[in-house]
Structure 1
Amino acid sequence: MDTSVAGWLVIAVAIAAANLPFFNDKVFALVGGRWARKPLVFRLAEMIVLYFVVGALGFALEANIGTRFPQTWEFYAISACLFVVLGFPGFIVRYLRKAHG
């Protein structure tokens, strides 16, 4: 796989994964709960787990392409903030958009 294709694949998966908790009321889109609407705490915990899943995918693709570069804490801080920003459209749709009609 080409480096640029792998990068865009990770970005596309990150956008989907960051918005997944806000577009359904099931945990990881698989298991239903006892609630009418999933609480925000569960949505944030789901985002944290999905952040690590996307990170593992990125590391696997990087190792498949060639040498995996060492990352420091700055990389993880920036990528976590970027993941939260990517999930902002889902947050807007779930909590801030008013129902019409």
Structure 2
Amino acid sequence: MNVSLFSWVVIILAAFAANLPFFNQQLFALVPLNKQAAWIKPIWVRLIELLVLYFAVGIVAHFLEAGIGNVFSQTWEFYAITGCLFLVLAYPGYVLRYLRKKHA
């Protein structure tokens, strides 16, 4: 496959994974946490989900890079930049969950 296509796959996967914790009340959109109708998933659970999904996308990207050829070593700067980019990609989900005005 094309390197450009792999790059777009990782970007789209990262955007989807970054917003996933904010659009549902289940753990990783699979495991129901509580059966009460009024229960809302706390922010700390969403942040843990975000961290786990960041590393999951990183693992997928690593395997795609390994399939292309040589895997480059990464330093702390790479993880700082990609972590901030992942948080930027999560911003629309955060806005829709916490900052949007709820009409009664």
> Shorter-chain TM-score category?
over 0.9
Tell me by how many angstroms 1:44 deviates. 0.1
Tell me by how many angstroms 1:100 deviates. 2.5
Please give the root-mean-square deviation of Cα atoms over the aligned residues, in Å. 0.9
2:50 match:
47
1:30-64 Cα distance to aligned partner (Å, 9 max, x none): 11112611000000000000000000000000000
Which one of 56, 59, 79 corresponds to residue 59 of structure 2?
56
> SS state of the match for residue 24, structure 1?
coil
The aligned length equals 101
Unpaired segments of 5 or more residues in structure 1?
none
Q: For residues 5-20 of structure 1, what are the structure 2 equivalents within 5 Å?
A: 5-20=5-20
1:20-39 Cα distance to aligned partner (Å, 9 max, x none): 00000000001111261100
> What is the TM-score normalised by the length of structure 1?
0.97
Quick one: percent identity of the two aligned structures? 55
1:70 match:
73
Which AA in structure 1 matches 2:58?
G
In 2, the alpha carbon distance for the partners of 1:79 and 1:65 equals 20
Which AA in structure 2 matches 1:92?
V
1:74-97 Cα distance to aligned partner (Å, 9 max, x none): 000100010011000000000000
Unpaired segments of 5 or more residues in structure 2?
none
1:83 match:
86
Which AA in structure 1 matches 2:20?
L
2:98 match:
95
> SS state of the match for residue 87, structure 1?
helix
In 2, the alpha carbon distance for the partners of 1:73 and 1:33 equals 34
